[in-house]
Amino acid sequence: EVQLVESGGGLVKPGGSLRLSCAASGFSFANAWMSWARQAPGKGLEWVGRLTSKSNGGTTDYTTPVKGRFTISKDDPKNTLWLQMNSLQIEDTAVYYCFAGEWDSGAYKEFWGQGALVTVSS
Amino acid sequence: EIVMTQSPATLSVSPGERGTLSCRASQSVSSNLAWYQQKPGQAPRLLIYGASTRAAGIPARFSGSGSGTEFILTISSLQSEDFAVYYCQQYNIWPYTFGQGTKLE
């Protein structure tokens, strides 16, 4: 069974930092492209950033509002993905989802975590 | 960045009816278009990728069509569990972007 479990969410003051973790199991974590998306309260979805698999260069890309402030990394042996968030702003308040994409026998599969709430408020 | 515009914002339909949702891209995304379903309090679920390929486990009543800038998600006969918010998303050019969503009620 595939599982993605986020942790580390909570309340943080503007300008503060927070690190989200995503524990993965049940699929080939090392070969998957891992991503974070977020959803502000009552709003739509925003793709925050992605990390390609090592075989695809292990590169990262970020959406413009978080570039230079957020960093995605992972530890393949530990099957763990992280999102380091620095210089947090009120508009970063959202549920953050980790998700994985992989190709299996010619079909694309995607797995999502349940989300972690990050609240930025003074 | 590519702007994805969905219409209508809300679609009122009855169970058993057909639902047709539209998505327009501000520039061509080829067939690099996905559709997601999201229910309250849940993570999004991938329905369609490549504009028309159903993801694993998605019922055949869901179908996608289109290419370039115009896309359609059709739900042939709505079931009670289909009432949710639907998002289109382009993955042709980074940053990948979502539409604002269509609520099926």
User: pLDDT per residue over B25-77, tens digit each?
Assistant: 999 999 999 999 999 999 999 999 999 999 999 999 999 999 999 999 999 99
> Which residues on chain A are in Cβ contact (under 8 Å) with B99?
44
Distance CA A42, CA B92 (A): 27
Quick one: closest CA in A to B57, which residue?
A109
Averaged pLDDT score across all residues of chain B: 97
For A74-120, write each residue's pLDDT tens digit. 999 999 999 999 999 999 999 999 999 998 888 999 999 999 999 99
Contacts of A24 (CB under 8 A, 6+ apart): A3, A4, A32, A34, A79, A80, A81, A98, A100
Q: Distance (Å, rounded) from C-alpha A29 to C-alpha B9?
A: 36
Band (pLDDT 50/70/90 cuts) for residue B104 is very high
**Residue A106 confidence (pLDDT):** 87
Which B positions 8-67 lie with beta carbon below 8 A of chain A? 36, 38, 42-46, 49-50, 53, 55-56
- Interface contact A100, partner B, CB < 8 A: no
The amino acid occupying position B14 is S
How, if at all, do strands A3-7 and A60-62 pair? unpaired
Q: What is the count of residue pairs from A and B with beta carbons less than 8 Å apart?
A: 48
Phi-psi category of A57—alpha, beta or left, where left has phi over 0 and alpha has psi -120 to 50?
left
